[in-house]
Every structure is written in C-alpha cells, then in structure tokens.
Structure 1
Amino acid sequence: MKKNAWFTGLMSLLLLISVGCNDDDEPNVEDSEAIGQVGEVEPQLEDIPDVVATVNGEDITKDFFAMYYVPTLKRTVEQQTYQEEEEKNDEEALRQQIQDDTLELLIQQQLLLQEAKSRNITVEEEVIHQQLQSFKQQYESEEAFQAALQEENFTKEELEQDIKIQIMINQLMEDELKNVEVSEEQTRELYEELNEMQGENEENMPSYEELQPQLEQQILQQLRFEKRQELVEKLRKEGEIKVYL
C-alpha cells in the first residue's frame, strides 16, 4: 500500500485519534477583520460564453457554471487572507485557475450523471426534500437559510438540483462498488501505518478493534475515489467533449 495514496485519509484518522483542537484554533477578531480587508476579485462573468462546454451533446451553460464558480472564487480569495504575501496568486491567474478547476469538475459531473441516467438511476422527490430539510436544520431560521443561499450564489431550486445530481452520482458509485469488500488484511495494514505515523504517541493509539469501522470506511472512501477517477477516464475516452471557455 503506497503511503501517498492514503495520506489524506490517514491524516483524517489521526485527527480522530488526537485529543482535539483547543480554543486557540478559532479565528480571532483580527482574523475576521482581515477577511473584510481583502480586495474582492471580480468573477468577470461577462467574459464567460453562454455555453462553456458540451458533453456528449449536452450543454454546460454559463448560468450553471457561475453557480459553482462564483462562490468557489470568493472562498478562495478569503482563504488567501491567511497566506504569506509571496504565496498569493494575482487576480487573473486566480480567476483562470478557478475557472479551469470548476469547468473540469462540471465536465466530470456531467459524464457521471449521464452514466447514472443510462443505468436508470433515479432519485425520489421525497429524498431530495429530506436532504434539503437536513440542510435547513443547520440554520436558526428560514431567513438565515435564505441568507446563506444568497451568500453562496444559490437559489433553493438550484440547491435542489445540486442535491439530486450528487445523490445520483453517489448511487452510481455505490453501484460500482457493490461487489467490493474490505478485507481484514487491508484494515490491519492501514492500522499499522497509523501506528507508524503516531511515532512517540503510539501508546495513546486506540486498539485495532476500536478503529476497525473507521479503517474500513477510509479504505472504502479511497476505493470510491479511485473507482470514480477510472470511470471518468473511461467515459471521457468514449464520449465527445467540446470546451468553449
């Protein structure tokens, strides 16, 4: 098992093992004020064509692209507040990078969605409604929920559309992994890697039995990621993609 392939997951598990962060990890007032001082990078949507790409004849429109691109650009700018000045990107480079990343994400999403439809994978409206309600419960009121949607450049209808897409893709990946089983050998190997990464704190390591469910989930998550990438590459080779951005 290559360590670099598992690094992100291992770090997540190590976080579960560790004592946890203290109050000093929370942003202070100065940090919050700094965010407000960051100059906003304009998305310049007027430069975006009405159709940014077609995937097997289906358009990815400018409006759909902007729904993901604008909030991603905003969050990235805010995150750059905490970077050293020499690490920050100039506005044009940042815009281009976020545009490229967003377009690639949407092309992959469209390929997977088309494959899900070809397998007759559907989502009941009630399932979408339940997921929407679970989102709403994270906010104190309907007004707060609507304000959060506006902040993220989403309408309620667009959020419902995104929920449906993600559920369909998740079901597609479950279909891809339906015959995959995680062996005890795999979980024990991952446990030993965690042990090694703990170093001097090894004595604080929970037992294998305690961590086994998380270990299995981490391995399945990695397998799901790898299977998704394989499926995207297969669909990309078989399909026809035209990019206009």
Structure 2
Amino acid sequence: MKKFDVSILSASILLVGLAVLGVYQASEQERDPALVKAGDTSITQYQLYDEMKSLYGKQMLNELVAQSLIKQEAKLQNITVSKEDVDKEINGMKQQIGSEEAFKNYLDSMGMNEEKLRNQLQLLMTRDKLLDKAFPVTEEQIQQYYNANKDQMGSPAPELDKVRDQIKNVLVESNRSENYGKWMESLEKNHKVEWYDPSFAESAAESAADSAQTQTEAPIK
C-alpha cells in the first residue's frame, strides 16, 4: 500500500470548522453569539472564525480549489477509481493499524468516519491516476535509475527485468512528487480559476508545493 497522504484529510477537518463558523457574515451582536466568557470578556463566534480564516483560510481555499480541479479533470478524462480499489487501501490501512477497534480509534482521532475516509481516498487515488497518465514512467527513466543504483542492489547486481517493477514503483512516486505543482498550475489555467479576493490569490499549485510530501528515491535492495 502506498504511503498514506493525510494533507487533504487534515484540510477537510479544518473545513468543517470553517464551514460551521462561516454560515453568516456577522455585523450585528445577535448574529455574533458569544462562545465563551473569560472574566469580563466574551469571545464571539466571528472572532473565532476571523482568527481561523487568518491562520488557515488561504491553505483551506487552495485545498478546495485543488479538490475541485481534480474532480473536474477526472470527469473530463473519464478517470474513475473503483470501490474495489478503495477497499484494498482501507484493508491495507486496517492491517497496518492492527485491529478494527484501533482503526476506528484512529479515525475518531482524526474527526472522521469510514465514509469520509473513503471519499478522501477516492480523491487521492483519482489525483494519482491523473498524474500517472500525465507523467508516465518511461523506459529511459527505468534504465537510468538501474544504471545509477545497480551497484547498491547486491553483488552481483540483479538483472534489470527482475527489479523493473520495484524501480517503476519508486519512479512513479518520484514523478508524482516532482510534477504535481506544475500539473496543478496547468489545471488552474485550463479550467480558468479566478480569484476574487486578493488575500487568497496564491495559486493552488504554490500551496500544494508547500505541503506536498517529498518522496526519497531509495535504491532497490
């Protein structure tokens, strides 16, 4: 199972808070109820929303843009992820965590349930399918990686055909990581993303590059 990517999951948890707090535009006192009283001071719902927007708003909005573009591009290219594929990932996670109870506790700690996890996994796997189609691993890449690392694969080094699949898996992750930013930038242009609030004008590609997981190319052994 591929390394689990929690960036979108974390963002979705923040989104819940922002969505709940952002259902109104507070101006009158009755529309900005107090959440807590600290001594002689009241902390209001809008104060909390404004602080969360300041801290997480740009990241959250860019996450939402990225999610929307991935879904639109998948529909355009007729890219889908089957229930069986998602089941395989879920089962792999359960095996890693150890038990159904531990798995449930893990989801509870993330503020999620299995249905939400499935939705997020489907999005991540859709993204990966799109990236793999846009930036496929080439035979030249495989050969170059083999030549550069075969001395570390054993003595004598295994034949290329025997480690081809392992090398390809390493390069798939590398291609995704290296190309995600420019790929997202191309989606923004193709789908004509417009930013109406200048304070959020950082592109989803730039935001993604800041939070993207870095995959290290470890030699095949």
State the alpha-carbon separation in 2 of the partners of residues 218 and 125 from structure 1: 25
State the alpha-carbon separation in 2 of the partners of residues 139 and 182 from structure 1: 38
In structure 2, which of residues 9, 18, 22 is the aligned counterpart of residue 49 of structure 1? 22
Shift of 1:151: 0.2
State the alpha-carbon separation in 1 of the partners of residues 132 and 77 from structure 2: 12
2:176 matched to which residue of 1? Answer: 224
1:240 matched to which residue of 2? Answer: 193
Shift of 1:150: 0.7
In structure 2, which of residues 113, 126, 139 is the aligned counterpart of residue 181 of structure 1? 139
CA contact (8 A) 2:128 2:176 kept: no
Shift of 1:139: 3.1
CA contact (8 A) 2:107 2:113 kept: yes
2:97 matched to which residue of 1? Answer: 139
**Which TM-score applies when normalising by structure 2?**
0.52
CA contact (8 A) 2:137 2:175 kept: no
CA contact (8 A) 1:121 1:168 kept: yes
Cα gap change, 1:243 to 1:219, in 2 (>3 Å): farther
CA RMSD across the alignment: 4.0
Letter of the structure 1 residue corresponding to residue 102 of structure 2: A
Q: Find out whether 1:154 has 2:127 as its counterpart.
A: no
Letter of the structure 1 residue corresponding to residue 98 of structure 2: E
State the alpha-carbon separation in 2 of the partners of residues 185 and 143 from structure 1: 45
State the alpha-carbon separation in 1 of the partners of residues 145 and 56 from structure 2: 36
**Which TM-score applies when normalising by structure 1?**
0.48
State the alpha-carbon separation in 1 of the partners of residues 140 and 21 from structure 2: 45
- How many residues align? The count is 152
Shift of 1:176: 1.2
Query: What is the percentage of aligned positions where both structures have the same residue?
Result: 22
In structure 2, which of residues 85, 100, 104 is the aligned counterpart of residue 127 of structure 1? 85
In the TM superposition, 1:104-123 aligns within 5 A as 104-123=62-81
In the TM superposition, 1:74-89 aligns within 5 A as none
CA contact (8 A) 2:86 2:122 kept: yes
Higher relative CO (Cα under 8 Å, sequence separation at least 6) belongs to 1
Q: SS where residue 139 of structure 2 aligns?
A: coil
Unaligned runs of 5+ in 2: 1-13, 25-49, 201-221
State the alpha-carbon separation in 2 of the partners of residues 93 and 102 from structure 1: 13
